[in-house]
Structure 1
Amino acid sequence: AIDRGEIRSLDATLAELAPRLIPRGADPRVGDITIEHLVTMQAGLERTSGANYGAWVSSGNWVNDALGRPFVAEPGSRMLYSTGSFHVLGAVLSERSGKSLLSLARQRLGQPLEIDIPAWTRDPQGRYLGGNEMALSVPAMVRFGELYLNGGRWGGVEVLSEDWVTRSLRPRTRSPFSGLSYGYGWFMGTVRGHSYALARGYGGQVICIFPDLGLCIAITSDSTRPARSGGYFGDLMDLIERSIIPAALSEGA
């Protein structure tokens, strides 16, 4: 969206980009929330995830509910894991492009990567959910991971700018739950001296890339079961750290 001029920069604010998304009666600071605040989940608003998720998705307007919540931190000060932040981000992308999030995903990712992106959940206003419930096959997950390993290129075509890929994988904040660093949609950590980036979906859906090893790992799990950092997700990280990475290093040797 930035490369196409639909969004000026990550510093652009909600008031500048999509003022009609800001609900009446919202805290005046909502208009100053930037794209970077949303994509790093540092908007400062009360979370819509965890114990708040059910009430959020039961509301009549998910964007209004997310942006109408009180501030619990200054924007940009710390990570507050919130699906609502990414839902607002998706709504902004739709506003600026004039296309649904599904159309954007299919045209700008699905077509160049030659992967299928099925329709998924929409909010009461018809906006596709920006942070949950998309579905990809395992081969499609691998292609998305390899897109980042290839610096944003696939089949000789630039799908994402190399600059965006580099900036996405740069730590910006840290998760208070897992302790992992967080960039633009990616969690990050280190295993045996090798840095990795992790795309993490509910229930234990994982795309994990190790750039210096040229390795992409895709894992799917029962999506009806939670995968908290200290539980099943910890088991998946053990699988990656104690089985897959040693095997990859051995193969490389």
Structure 2
Amino acid sequence: MAFDDIAADPAAHGFNSGFVGKLDQAIAGGTLPSLHGLVILADGKLVLERYVAGEDESWGRPLGRVDFDTGTLHDLRSVSKSIVGLLYGIALKLGAVPAPDASLVVQFPEYPDLARDPQLGKRKVAHVLTMTLGQEWNEDLPYTDPANSEIAMEMAADRYRFILERPVIAEPGTGWTYTGGASALLGRLIEKGSGLSLLDFARQHLFAPLGIDTVQWISGADGTYSAASGLRLRPRDLAKIGYCVLQGGSWDGEQIIPPDWLAEAFTPRVTCFDDIGYGYQWYLRASTDGNGPRRFAMGNGGQRLILIPERKLVIAILCGQYNHPDQWKTPAAIMLEHVLPGLAG
């Protein structure tokens, strides 16, 4: 089924009666800084939708003050990675991309010199999906710094060679390193196998079936769509994708995302930090509060897509604190001070 976009009573779908009022007070009081959009679905119903005017940008380009509403596109930044992970599963079902256990370097015969390197030959597509390539990559630097690996990739004459030839510093599969280049490789494999651009593939196989007709995917100076951070969607449309995932990949009677891929994608493969695991381009957290495990995507500036399957909840959060050290605080406050406490027992 598709989700019902007619506003429903949160109290009829698992929230206590004070939830909305408390959240609105926080928004009005400025305690959720740089919140731009919030959409919450419960049981497939739209139980809360809020938009707050504020300063925004598009992939680093200032947009000034934006009066957000249901039709306004917003940067997803690295939430793009998780959507690319879903697209890879769709492409795999279509036979357009290699399976996770396939050799990575074999997929890039245009670089025969790299194929001769025995160290690089150890890497598989699974190591791309899980960001466990064991290579040098540093995105801890600000994204305004050309030494940041994602920025260096964008500036490289050949982004895929740049990614593939990063020095090997660990055995593949033994540790997680946040790597935008991994998502770029997935996007390239989708394009190579399907014969479509990443955006056209997404439109044909994910966006159009979900009724998502307004989308932008930012490309770099070389014209390549940024699989790591370039997708822009409306908040409701981001929530649609989340709800499709909650429905086992189905939408309005049509199977969009293969359910077996979702099961694989949401299997923890590696610990990335604290109690958070990582699957295939998605973050995973076990249940710690009685609400069941969470699956989520995160992006620079406070972008979040959070799924709580046991509660049939989808939370899409869009914020504007790009590159800010406290960018995590607004989405954390929405979840820890409002959504989770607002759930009825």
TM-score (norm 2): 0.66
Match of 1:238 among 301, 309, 333: 333
Alpha-carbon spacing, 1:10–1:98, altered in 2? closer, same or farther (3 Å): same
Q: Could you tell me how far 1:113 is from its partner in structure 2?
A: 0.8
Match of 1:180 among 276, 279, 287: 276
The aligned residue for residue 175 of structure 2 is: 78
The aligned residue for residue 220 of structure 1 is: 318
Q: Name stretches of at least 5 consecutive residues in structure 2 with no aligned partner.
A: 1-90, 142-147
Q: Is this contact kept in 2: 1:17–1:96, CA < 8 A?
A: no
Q: Could you tell me how far 1:198 is from its partner in structure 2?
A: 0.7
Q: Could you tell me how far 1:4 is from its partner in structure 2?
A: 1.0
Higher helix fraction: Structure 1 or Structure 2?
1
Q: Could you tell me how far 1:246 is from its partner in structure 2?
A: 2.1
Measure the CA separation in 1 of the matches of 2:305 and 2:247. Answer: 15
Alpha-carbon spacing, 1:127–1:21, altered in 2? closer, same or farther (3 Å): farther
Q: Which has the higher contact order (CA 8 A, sep 6+)?
A: 2
Match of 1:89 among 179, 183, 186: 186
- Alignment-mate amino acid for residue 131 of structure 1: A
The within-5 A match list for 1:10-49 is 10-20=100-110, 27-49=117-139
Measure the CA separation in 1 of the matches of 2:219 and 2:297. Answer: 20
Measure the CA separation in 2 of the matches of 1:21 and 1:110. Answer: 33
Higher strand fraction: Structure 1 or Structure 2?
2
Q: Is structure 2 residue 302 aligned with structure 1 residue 204?
A: yes
Q: Please give the secondary structure, in 2, of the residue aligned with 1:50.
A: coil
CA-based RMSD of the aligned residues comes to: 2.1
Measure the CA separation in 2 of the matches of 1:79 and 1:205. Answer: 21
Measure the CA separation in 2 of the matches of 1:158 and 1:35. Answer: 25
Measure the CA separation in 2 of the matches of 1:93 and 1:192. Answer: 38
- Alignment-mate amino acid for residue 39 of structure 1: L
Alpha-carbon spacing, 1:140–1:181, altered in 2? closer, same or farther (3 Å): same
The aligned residue for residue 255 of structure 2 is: 158
Cα deviation digits, residues 82-140 of structure 1 (max 9, x gap) = 1011111111111111111111111111111111321312352x331221121111001
- Alignment-mate amino acid for residue 337 of structure 2: R
Q: Is this contact kept in 1: 2:235–2:317, CA < 8 A?
A: yes
- Alignment-mate amino acid for residue 13 of structure 1: S
Aligned residues: 245
Q: Is structure 2 residue 5 aligned with structure 1 residue 5?
A: no
TM-score (norm 1): 0.88
Measure the CA separation in 2 of the matches of 1:21 and 1:94. Answer: 17
The within-5 A match list for 1:44-193 is 44-51=134-141, 52-53=148-149, 54-115=151-212, 116-122=214-220, 124=222, 126-176=223-273, 179-189=275-285, 190-193=287-290
Identity over aligned residues, as a percent? 28
Measure the CA separation in 2 of the matches of 1:142 and 1:103. Answer: 20
Measure the CA separation in 2 of the matches of 1:21 and 1:211. Answer: 42
Q: Is this contact kept in 1: 2:302–2:330, CA < 8 A?
A: no
Q: Could you tell me how far 1:154 is from its partner in structure 2?
A: 0.7
Cα deviation digits, residues 146-173 of structure 1 (max 9, x gap) = 0110000011100011111111111111
Q: Please give the secondary structure, in 1, of the residue aligned with 2:328.
A: helix
Measure the CA separation in 2 of the matches of 1:153 and 1:14. Answer: 30
- Alignment-mate amino acid for residue 335 of structure 2: I
Q: Is this contact kept in 2: 1:22–1:31, CA < 8 A?
A: no
Q: Is this contact kept in 2: 1:191–1:241, CA < 8 A?
A: no
Q: Name stretches of at least 5 consecutive residues in structure 1 with no aligned partner.
A: none
